[in-house]
Amino acid sequence: MSCGFDKSLIAAHYDGETTPGERAEVERHLAGCPECARDLASMKDLSAALKPLGRAPAPMSIAEGVMRAIQPPPSRRPWVHWGFAAAAALFLGALTFYVVDGGTLKSPDESLAIAARKPAASDLERETSRDDAVALRKMPAAEHVEAPPLPSAPAPAGAAAAPSAEPEAPLLDTAGGQKKNEENSRMAARMRASVPVVRVTSTDAAAARALVEEFLKERKLKVAPGAPLLGRSALIRDHYLQVELTEPESALLEKRLAELKDTSLAKVTLEDEKKRVAEKLAKDKAVQLAAPADEEAAKESEKDADALNEHTRGFIGPARRKIIFVFEPAPARK
Amino acid sequence: VSPADVPGDRDLIERARRGDRDAFGFLVVRHQDRIYTAVLRFCGDEEDARDVVQRAFINAWRRLDSFKGDSAFSTWMYRIAFNESVTFRREGGRRKLVSMTGRDDEAGPEPADDRRPSDRLESEENRRKVQDALNLVDPEERKILILKELEDRSYDEIAEILEIPKGTVRSRLFRARESLREKLTVLMKAEGTSGSRIASKGQ
């Protein structure tokens, strides 16, 4: 204080923020002023005292949270992304959904038959979800008829048989409906094709399952995230686990599973597994479950696959992908 | 601002502006440590800091168009993050800025500390003391201390981040150091007495 020198200049000198002229001035002064030299020293002490507050690594949850937050809302209206061809397919997806939701059906074939019998748009609107109903109303009839097939779809013979310009007519056309139904399920299948199924065969299937659940818990991962791709039957609940893991995570988990006693792993595709599920359910005389599981999965997976893609694309670092684990009891070794 | 950094960030920002979320993700990962550290020291609480930094980045994404290319992304982010800290605080935050109970057991151990356990214990003690002192400093002065002493930003950058003239940086930094030194001295002297008493006195 008493020396009258500008103390903030000493600080600026310490911070390396002085001009060459200032620096010379400060250095000259410091040489002859113990008080200011002390100030400089105490500034060094202060910096040293702050040392313990070094850089703290940001928790990864920050980046994850940010990426989640900046994703577009998960595919509420997929047709916005897919354009009109997809919109047409979705339109029929909605119809399919309605039919399945109607609840009285036993097989996809019958559902088509009923779809064909269903007469009026007002019924559809009542039964489908509100969003879908809005889409139905907004979709001009002419565009309906002229909806181009999806790029990968071969032109089916029945397509030409949808000639009517009346709004509801294409809906009533079984052949056209079937065609679009096919396209629809093909599209859904494409999206699901990438989900691997890991078949875990073990003498202690319960332990294997517990291991997976523990693994998820350790990492605070949700058990069974997203729509169940294989449906919701009791069979699925008891024997299947749908999870989301990064590649390293799934590699580690698979390694741990393989280390279990009398346990073997095999990878199959979701489509194969679906067939197996359907067969099993049929064998268990639970045919009525098979259709809903299938159709519901197709419908939900549209949303889900889209959300999954967005999710996977948007994530920095290793992305989590869906994997389904199946647990099967193996006969105990004698 | 290291010239090597700039093209990378600029390119990523350009891509992010066109809707590339991954590009923004890279920006987040690249800058999150320094922003998190600054915010953590400013608000003194890990959970609050996590929330604030997350909000800040989300905010930055939404306002990418308002980012002017003539400053560094980090400069812009510090500003957003500090503003977010203040807003967070005003809205009540997760808990009070200065834990008045003094013993903030909620604060977990500092991550990634590879020192020996005995050293760690001592530095943990030190760290808490210094953080306590920092918490008692006026928020504007605290910001400038963090930017200079911890983040080693230049006066020019600090001026830009805090939107104050460079001359003000110099004088405010001077006052901030005085203030922190004072608080630290008080805290050190009060060693053995409960930190809470000191903290409430400072209010």
pLDDT mean across residues, chain B: 80
Question: Does residue B137 sit in helix, strand or coil?
Answer: coil
Q: What angle do CA B26, A309, A276 make, to 5 degrees?
A: 140
Residue B77: predicted pLDDT? 96
Q: B152 — alpha (psi -120 to 50), left (phi > 0) or beta?
A: left
Query: Where does residue B89 rank: exposed (0-12), middle (13-18), buried (19+ CB within 10 A)?
Result: middle
Collect all residues of chain A within an 8 Å Cβ-Cβ radius of residue B155: 12, 15, 17
Which residue on chain B is closest to A68 by alpha carbon? B58
Residue A206: predicted pLDDT? 82
Rg of chain B (C-alpha set)? 18
Residue B168: pLDDT band by 50, 70, 90 thresholds? very high
Which residue on chain A is closest to B24 by alpha carbon? A67
Residue B109 is classified by DSSP as P
Q: Once rounded to an integer, what is the mean pLDDT over residues B151-160?
A: 94
Which residue on chain A is closest to B175 by alpha carbon? A8
Q: Would you mind telling me the total number of residues written for chain B in this entry?
A: 203
Task: State whether A11 and B177 contact (CB < 8 Å).
Answer: yes
Report if pTM > 0.80.
no
Residue A331: predicted pLDDT? 67
Residue B202: pLDDT band by 50, 70, 90 thresholds? very low
| Percent above pLDDT 90 for chain B | 47
In this predicted structure, the answer to whether residue B41 has a pLDDT above a threshold of 90 is yes
pLDDT, tens digit only, all 334 positions of chain A: 468 888 888 999 999 999 999 999 999 999 999 999 999 999 999 999 888 887 888 888 888 889 888 887 655 444 433 333 343 333 333 322 222 222 333 333 333 333 333 333 333 333 333 343 333 333 333 333 333 344 433 333 333 333 333 333 333 344 445 554 555 455 445 545 556 788 888 888 888 888 888 888 887 776 665 566 676 667 777 777 877 777 777 778 888 888 888 888 887 777 777 778 777 777 765 444 444 545 555 555 455 444 444 433 333 334 566 777 787 777 655 4
Strands A196-202 and A263-269: antiparallel
Classify the complex by whether its ipTM is higher than 0.85, answering yes or no: no
Task: State whether B24 and A70 contact (CB < 8 Å).
Answer: yes
| Interface contact A62, partner B, CB < 8 A | yes
Four-residue CA torsion sign, B198, B134, B82, B20:
negative
Residues 6 or more apart in contact with residue A334 via CB below 8 angstroms = none
Amino acid at A241: L
In this predicted structure, the answer to whether residue B153 has a pLDDT above a threshold of 70 is yes
Query: In this predicted structure, which of A318-327, B26-35, B46-55 has the lowest mean pLDDT?
Result: A318-327
Q: Which residue has the tokens 């009791």?
A: A234
Q: How many Cα neighbours within 13 Å face the side chain of A71?
A: 20
Say which of A62, A71, A317 has its CB closest to residue B53.
Answer: A62
Task: State whether A66 and B57 contact (CB < 8 Å).
Answer: yes
The answer to whether A289 and A296 are in contact (CB under 8 A) is no
Residue B65 is classified by DSSP as G
Say which of A7, A66, A316 has its CB closest to residue B174.
Answer: A7
| Nearest by Cα to B11 from B35, B37, B32, B30 | B30
| Interface contact B191, partner A, CB < 8 A | no
Residue B179: predicted pLDDT? 95
For chain A, the three-class secondary structure string (H helix, E strand, C coil) is: CCCCCCHHHHHHHHCCCCCHHHHHHHHHHHHHCHHHHHHHHHHHHHHHHHCCCCCCCCCHHHHHHHHHHCCCCCCCCHHHHHHHHHHHHHHHHHHHHHHHHCCCCCCHHHHHHHHHHCCCHHHHHHHCCHHHHHHHHHCCHHHHHCCCCCCCCCCCHHHHHCCCCCCCHHHHCHHHHHHHHHHHHHHHHHHHCCCEEEEEEECCHHHHHHHHHHHHHHCCCCCCCCCCCCCCCHHHHHHEEEEEECHHHHHHHHHHHHHCCCEEEEEEEHHHHHHHHHHHHHHCCCHHHHHHHHHHHHHHHHHHHHHHHHHHHHCCCCCCEEEEEEEEECCCCC
Task: State whether B181 and A66 contact (CB < 8 Å).
Answer: no
Residue A2: predicted pLDDT? 65
Residues 6 or more apart in contact with residue A191 via CB below 8 angstroms = A301, A302, A305, A306, A308, A309
Residue B155: pLDDT band by 50, 70, 90 thresholds? very high
Residue A226: predicted pLDDT? 55
